[in-house]
Amino acid sequence: MRLDIADLHLFLCVVDAGSITHGAERANLALASASERLRNMEADSGVRLLERRARGVAATEAGEALAHHARSILRQQAVLKDELRDFAAGARGTLHLYANTGALTGLVPQKLAPWMAQRPRLHVDLKERTSEEIVRLIAAGLAEAGIVSDAVKPSAVQAGLVLQPVAKDHLVLIVPAQHRLAAQRAACLGDILTEAFVGLAHGSALQDHVDEKARAIGGALALRIRMKTFEGLCEMVAHGIGLAIVPQTIASRYKRGMGYRTLVLTDDWARRRLCLCYGDWQSLTPVMQSLLQHLAGPG
């Protein structure tokens, strides 16, 4: 049988109306066209589908079977249309978002949650990378967009990418309350390289970033221990295990209960902002455009 969606819709309109004339009107077809379609359906199936009566038509047993399956097919078509419409509007599917450690611990949880709550069928795959890696991925066409530090501005501009500032993300130094540096207000990385440090676990984009800055001035952090969470890292510092470099938002979050001291890092690379990073706006998918507009908005 060669039945299309229009055939099935017409047949149901006729069966429900009990009349070819009224069924054709419901299907927005001319009577002659509807009658021709129904004759072709019966000829193609090799069986009578409608019983002609004095006051209209009724489905035969074969017609009832066709009507049953037609309703199921049309329901599935409606579901399919809804799903495809959701994908087109960015309300369904999986969105891949790259972000540095600072964004993942501060900006992303705070702003992503309400946006996702409005899209219950959308999944987000968060990938933590250093800002430099994210820029390279976007420039190579391997990622749509990401959240990076403005420290990557030279390489991003060179790659023709847009950097849109959305939040402060300064890095600070936290030290045990009894440490000799606790009375100071500021420090630079070059002056503290001989100190013991507490770091984040292998694979942390932030720790990789700090380690790279240490190597750039000819040194390396003496890490006594690596922790998987910022809370654990701050706990270690509070107990005198070593110093640590963390986002200012993290230092403020745990300071009250742990009692360590916070110092300003005077290095230029520590005074940073979080930026949305992307290439041509028009090439972004609608869902990514929606997310970036939300992240850039107030609140």
Whether residue 67 is found in the same domain as residue 130:
no
Whether residue 140 is found in the same domain as residue 282:
yes
Whether residue 54 is found in the same domain as residue 103:
no
Whether residue 145 is found in the same domain as residue 282:
yes
Whether residue 189 is found in the same domain as residue 249:
yes
Whether residue 204 is found in the same domain as residue 264:
yes
Distance CA 196, CA 251 (A): 18
Whether residue 277 is found in the same domain as residue 164:
yes
Q: Are 53 and 15 in contact (CB under 8 A)?
A: no
Q: What is the CATH number of the domain that holds 29?
A: 1.10.10.10
**Looking at 89, 118, 135, which one is the last position of a domain?**
89
**Looking at 48, 69, 89, which one is the last position of a domain?**
89
Whether residue 161 is found in the same domain as residue 189:
no
**Of the listed ranges 73-77, 80-84, 150-154, the one predicted with least confidence:** 80-84
Sign of the C-alpha dihedral computed for residues 243, 244, 245 and 251 taken in this order: negative
Whether residue 110 is found in the same domain as residue 162:
yes
Whether residue 178 is found in the same domain as residue 262:
yes
Work out the mean pLDDT of the chain and round it to a whole number: 88
Whether residue 38 is found in the same domain as residue 158:
no
Sign of the C-alpha dihedral computed for residues 164, 166, 167 and 171 taken in this order: negative
pLDDT band at 82; cut points 50, 70, 90 = low
What is the model's pLDDT at position 1?
58
* Three-state DSSP state, 105: helix
Task: Provide CB contacts within 8 A for 241, sequence distance 6+.
Answer: 176, 196, 198, 224, 225
Most confident of 91-100, 110-119, 180-189, 206-215: 180-189
Whether residue 139 is found in the same domain as residue 279:
yes
102-139 pLDDT, tens digit each: 888 878 888 999 999 988 888 889 998 888 899 999 99
What is the model's pLDDT at position 218?
92
**Looking at 89, 116, 149, which one is the last position of a domain?**
89
Q: The pTM is what?
A: 0.58
pLDDT band at 212; cut points 50, 70, 90 = very high
Rounded to 5 degrees, φ, ψ at 164 are -115, 105
Name the nearest CA neighbour of 250 among 104, 125, 96, 133.
Answer: 104
Distance CA 8, CA 70 (A): 6
Rounded to 5°, the CA angle 170-233-259 comes to 80
Q: Can you give the residue range of the structural domain that contains 44?
A: 5-89
Q: What is the CATH number of the domain that holds 206?
A: 3.40.190.10
**Of the listed ranges 18-32, 69-83, 273-287, the one predicted with least confidence:** 69-83
For the chain, the first-to-last Cα distance in angstroms comes to: 58
Task: Provide the number of structural domains found in the chain.
Answer: 3
